[in-house]
Amino acid sequence: MPTDPSTHSSPSLRVDIDQRLGNFHLQVSLALPGQGVTGIFGTSGSGKTSLMRVIAGLETPDRGHVQLGERTLLDTRQRLVVPAHKRRIGVVFQEARLFPHYRVRGNLTYGMPDHAASRFDEIVALLGIAHLLERLPGTLSGGESRRVAIGRALLSDPRLLLMDEPLTGLDGARKQELLHFIARLARQVDIPIIYVSHDPDEIATIADHLVLMRSGRMEASAPLSHLLQRFDLTQALAGFDAASILEGHVISHDAHYQLTRVALGDGLELLLPGTQTTLGSTLRLRIHARDIAIALAPATGTSYRNQLPAHIEAIEMPAETPHTVELRLRLGAHRLRARLTRLAFDQLGLAEGQRITALIRSVAFTSLQ
Ligand SMILES: Nc1ncnc2c1ncn2[C@@H]1O[C@H](COP(=O)(O)OP(=O)(O)OP(=O)(O)O)[C@@H](O)[C@H]1O
């Protein structure tokens, strides 16, 4: 489970800025974790890129303060503006923006400080671009160019990596490959990543923490799994389709039935479609509210392979869908959303605080990482 920013030992990013861009007013105050991936999500025009540009130092706001760890990057009151190239922030935008006349090797080493040279081979291997080193950017595919751009950003020895829609324009398979790569990278390199996207699937796969932007303001900022449980954000996060994110450890694989068993902690276990994940590793799972059923007691003679003891933490009757009821269930340290018909809710006589059994079909889980 992602932790709160204030509990991190590594540096966190603090931003408090005010900027007018024509009729648009960007006014954001937030503190982000110093590790893992923070997703920035919001509709088109909500200010995601403008915020990235201020953090990167490509734009100076009318008023504000930006601090990365102990280092102040911007303080308009003190007239302090650290230029972009001195911020130690790696930037990967939609277009790879490689230097066309430098080979891949030259692009990677451009701006690389001497002390980062020892990481060259490691990062090239991590990105799988060793065979591309002598090629010119014009000969690379979109995915290859993007990997080189990520490599260049990493080799600049950044303290923070900003990625603004880095997968735009890539086809489905390449997109998935690079997305999983970035998720692994975040764990391996221990550099916080801020990842801008308007794609809920990308955010669900990669983000630990989520910042929700709306009309130039921050609407919410919290661990992704927490925000997805908030009934008041159902509309803003509609693209996530009332899903919950769970993380657990793989404890066994059943080769015969092709199923994987995952421990959630507190003695809770799940059975889901088989994955290739190594035993002991963390698996991130998504489950939709509509795929969870409720029983008053453990049920026999059903095809549900997952029956978990839970209690009802909160109940919401959405005005826009009067035939449904949304429940937030508590299972040990985890929370799950469940959606029932109003009829089933009334007939079972459900109430807040009630102990129930959550029934979840194994096939309903999606493994995200
Ligand atoms: N230099 C500028 N002058 C005037 N308006 C601007 C300027 N830069 C950005 N804007 C406006 O600010 C708003 C936010 O733009 P921004 O690019 O930050 O949004 P976004 O959330 O990244 O959108 P998208 O998802 O479409 O990329 C938009 O309405 C945009 O037109």
Cα angle 186-222-194, degrees, rounded to a multiple of 5: 35
Query: In sequence order, what are the residues at sequence separation of 6 or more whose Cβ sits closer than 8 angstroms to the Cβ of residue 317?
Result: 325, 326, 342
The answer to whether the CB of 368 falls within 8 A of the CB of 244 is no
> Does the fold of domain 244-367 match that of domain 5-235?
no
- Among 162, 37, 29, 189, residue whose Cα is nearest residue 87: 162
Three-state SS for 350? coil
Q: Cα(107)–Cα(126) distance, rounded to whole angstroms?
A: 17
Asked if residue 24 has its Cβ within 6 Å of ligand 1, the reply is yes
Please give the Cα distance from 122 to 155 (Å, whole number).
Answer: 10
Ligand 1 atom at minimum distance from 42 CA: 21
**Residue 115, SS3 per DSSP:** helix
Phi and psi for 335 in degrees, rounded to 5? -125, 145
Asked if 363 contacts 341 with a C-beta cutoff of 8 angstroms, the reply is no
Q: Taking the model in full, what pTM does it have?
A: 0.88
Is this complex's ipTM strictly greater than 0.85? yes
What are the tens digits of pLDDT across the range 237-268? 989 989 999 999 999 999 999 999 999 988 89
| Residue to mutate, 20, 27, 46, ligand 1, most ligand atoms under 8 Å from C-beta | 46
Q: Show the DSSP H helices in the chain as ranges.
A: 48-56, 104-109, 120-127, 142-155, 172-189, 200-206, 224-227, 342-348
214 Cβ inside 6 Å of ligand 1: no
CB distance 48 to ligand 1 below 6 Å? yes
Is 49 near ligand 1, meaning CB less than 6 Å away? yes
Model pLDDT for residues 176-234, shown as the tens digit of each residue: 878 888 888 787 778 899 999 989 999 999 999 999 999 999 999 999 999 999 999 98
Burial 187-217 (b: 16+ CB within 10 A, else e): eebebbbbbbbbbbbbbbbbbbbbbbbeebe
Query: Would you state the structure tokens that stand for residue 92, as one six-digit string?
Result: 């990967």
Amino acid in the structure at residue 296:
L
For ligand 1, whether the C-beta of 53 sits within 6 Å is no
Q: Which of 3-7, 65-69, 79-83 has the lowest mean pLDDT?
A: 3-7
pLDDT of residue 4: 41
Read off the pLDDT of residues 266-298 as tens digits, 9 standing for 90 and up: 889 999 988 888 899 899 999 999 999 999 999
How far is ligand 1, taken at its centre, from the CA of residue 164, in Å? Answer: 13
* Residues in Cβ contact with 204 at an 8 Å cutoff, skipping those fewer than 6 apart: 224, 240, 243, 245, 286, 368
CATH of domain 244-367: 2.40.50.100
Most confident of 116-130, 151-165, 231-245, 344-358: 344-358
Give CA separation, 172 vs 147, 181, 203, 276, in Å.
16, 14, 15, 20
User: What pLDDT sits at residue 346?
Assistant: 97
Could you tell me which residues come within 8 angstroms of residue 173 by beta carbon, excluding any fewer than 6 positions away?
none
Answer CATH for 5-235 from 3.40.50.300, 3.90.226.10, 3.40.30.10, 3.40.50.2300: 3.40.50.300
Helix, strand, coil in percent for the chain, rounding step 5 = 30, 35, 35
Q: Where are the domains of the chain?
A: 5-235, 244-367
pLDDT for the residue numbered 10: 52
Calculate how far, in angstroms, residue 60's C-alpha sits from the geometric centre of ligand 1.
15
198 lines ligand 1 (CB under 6 A): yes
Nearest Cα residue to 212 out of 193, 202, 199, 227: 227
DSSP-derived pairing of the beta strands 268-273 and 282-288:
unpaired
